[in-house]
Amino acid sequence: MPAPKASNIERTVSHNYKKNETIQENSSEPVLSLSESSFVCDNSSSQTEIAASEDKTENGLPDEDKNITDSFDDESKSEEETESVPYDELSQEDTVYEEQTIEPEIIQEPEYTIIYDIINLDTYIYDQLSGSIYSSSGCGPTSAAMLLSSERNIGISKDDIITTAYDNGFYYDVGVNFTSGRGVTLENIRDLMNYYGQEAVIDHLWNYSNDDIVNTINSKLDEGHRLICGHRTFSGSLHYFVIYGKYRIDDRMYYNIVDPWGGSVYNWDQWTLTDRIISVGGNDDSTFEGCVKGLLWLD
């Protein structure tokens, strides 16, 4: 057990001593003053059996008991001095001793991820499957509506832009009632933008490496452009969605995407995105795939 603090011992002795003084005042029999250890360890009646010396001093007490009484007087004075000193002002040596006996608590550092190089452009979300026209091949015009509304503040519905694209021949292959067919090329989307009085730029990313594609996307997002991206889905279909932001964790880029198929929002890392673009395969304008592959943004 650790040693009790000095202030606690002094209070115990002083309390018992004062108790004995009270008894002495009310009794004709002399009361023997007991040692400090007797009061701390045993307060039973057997303490009165301690023998007193027959040699009396001038004060009527043995020299030995008189010395004990004197020591209690000193301790009583010491108690008053100790109680008047706040605990915080005890000697530096005592404070250091107490601190050394406390085992330091091990604090677990929180885990966190640093995200930087952040671009997040506010973008209206359109769903090609909603409205009165269920357009399974309407991802291109629906993506165009996101750019027109978000960057040019042109209010247009999904049904209106798909109908406009169809009525003006901006579909490569519209199919039957917009529910089949191959859809549109990036050139078709650029013509649709021109119809609404907006200039658009195309980069087909033909023969680009992964790093070239990432650098191109990053530079356009840094300039404040949302991007329509032609790629191949995991199921093998050609498709368009809108890239509206990016961020970096460690050495990897992630891209914020709005998909017109259901109006869903999700993130792809740089390797997934570049793989889906390169997988289109066409590297010139001689094929439909080659004309879908790449990026389009408003100038």
Structure tokens at 18: 């004062």
Please report whether residue 107 resides in a domain. Answer: no
Please report whether residue 106 resides in a domain. Answer: no
Q: Are residues 36 and 164 in the same domain?
A: no
Q: Are residues 120 and 82 in the same domain?
A: no
CATH number at residue 166: 3.90.70.30
Please provide the average confidence, as pLDDT, over all residues in the chain: 75
Which of 55, 74, 100 is the last residue before a domain boundary? 100
Segment 267-271 shows an average pLDDT of: 97
Gap between the Cα atoms of 291 and 2, Å rounded: 84
Gap between the Cα atoms of 157 and 100, Å rounded: 73
Tokens 């673009």 correspond to 277
Domain around 70 = 6-100
Q: Are residues 13 and 67 in the same domain?
A: yes
State residue 179's pLDDT score: 63
Gap between the Cα atoms of 32 and 47, Å rounded: 9
State residue 133's pLDDT score: 85
Give the E-state strand segments of 179-251 in sequence order: 200-203, 227-232, 238-249
State residue 58's pLDDT score: 46
Reported confidence tier of residue 181, pLDDT bands at 50, 70, 90: confident
Q: Identify whether the C-beta of residue 118 lies closer than 8 Å to the C-beta of residue 256.
A: no
Q: Are residues 148 and 288 in the same domain?
A: yes
Segment 15-38 shows an average pLDDT of: 38
State residue 86's pLDDT score: 53
